[in-house]
Amino acid sequence: MKGRPLNLSLLFFLIITFIMLIFMFEAYSTLITISEVQPLPRRNSITYFLSKYTGRVGQFNFTVETRTVELLPAGDYVNSAVITLYWIIEAPPGRNGRNFIISVRLYDDEGRSLTSGSVTVCLPKGTNSGSHTITLSSTSIDDVAKVETSIRDSEHWC
């Protein structure tokens, strides 16, 4: 078992190989540094639908617009929504205005309804704006992917 000493070319080859490997590992290490990884999105967008209603009964015209939708947070949950409306209502003499049904519904990413609520309000005749609170069942804000409002004529004067 008497081996010959390593010659210079073999030593050179081994040293070069080690240097290349060290640089390669170093390059890999640099690329996967955790601090350079930005947070990834679980949900990076939410859609709101602000509804508008226009209608007419006889000579009386109605315009009701959703101007603001606000989900009221309680920690990471929401349990009510405030909708601010702007309206132009015409009504016959002796009537205060027109009843409308205001609704809000929350959806998840798959389009499934999470919760909903509605309220019937009397919108006084004339041009005006006002806010209305709608109670919802407690829902995690992180589950909400879409918020949709709707305005319907209740077909009654008030």
Partner 1 sequence: MMKKTLIIFIFIILITTTLAYSTAIYVGDVGQLGASEKTPVAKYNLRVYSVSITVENNQITSITITIAISIPGTYNIYATVTNGTCRAIATWTNVDLTMTPSSLLSSLTPQCSYTNAGATVEVGGEPA
Nearest-approach distance from CB 59 to partner 1, in angstroms: 20
CA distance 100 to 113: 22
Q: Which is nearer to partner 1, 69 or 134 (CB)?
A: 69
Q: Is residue 86 a contact partner of residue 67, using CB atoms and an 8 Å limit?
A: yes
Determine, following the binding rule CB under 8 A, whether residue 17 of this chain makes contact with partner 1.
Answer: yes
Tell me which of 8, 39, 94, 111 binds partner 1, using CB under 8 A. Answer: 39
**Which H or E run includes 31?**
helix 8-31
Determine, following the binding rule CB under 8 A, whether residue 60 of this chain makes contact with partner 1.
Answer: no
Name the phi and psi angles at 27, rounded to 5: -65, -45
Q: Which is nearer to partner 1, 8 or 32 (CB)?
A: 32
Instruction: Tell me the residue type at 21.
Output: L
Q: Is residue 112 a contact partner of residue 46, using CB atoms and an 8 Å limit?
A: no
Determine, following the binding rule CB under 8 A, whether residue 111 of this chain makes contact with partner 1.
Answer: no
Determine, following the binding rule CB under 8 A, whether residue 84 of this chain makes contact with partner 1.
Answer: yes
Determine, following the binding rule CB under 8 A, whether residue 9 of this chain makes contact with partner 1.
Answer: no
Q: Is residue 72 a contact partner of residue 82, using CB atoms and an 8 Å limit?
A: yes
Nearest-approach distance from CB 37 to partner 1, in angstroms: 5
- DSSP 8-state code for residue 58: T
Q: Which stretch binds partner 1 (CB under 8 A): 29-37, 91-99, 103-111, 130-138?
A: 29-37
CA distance 124 to 99: 9
Name the phi and psi angles at 122, rounded to 5: -95, 115
Tell me which of 124, 141, 157, 158 binds partner 1, using CB under 8 A. Answer: 141
Binding site for partner 1 (CB under 8 A): 1, 3-4, 6, 10, 14, 17, 21, 25, 28, 32-34, 36-54, 65-71, 73, 78, 84, 86, 141-142, 147, 149
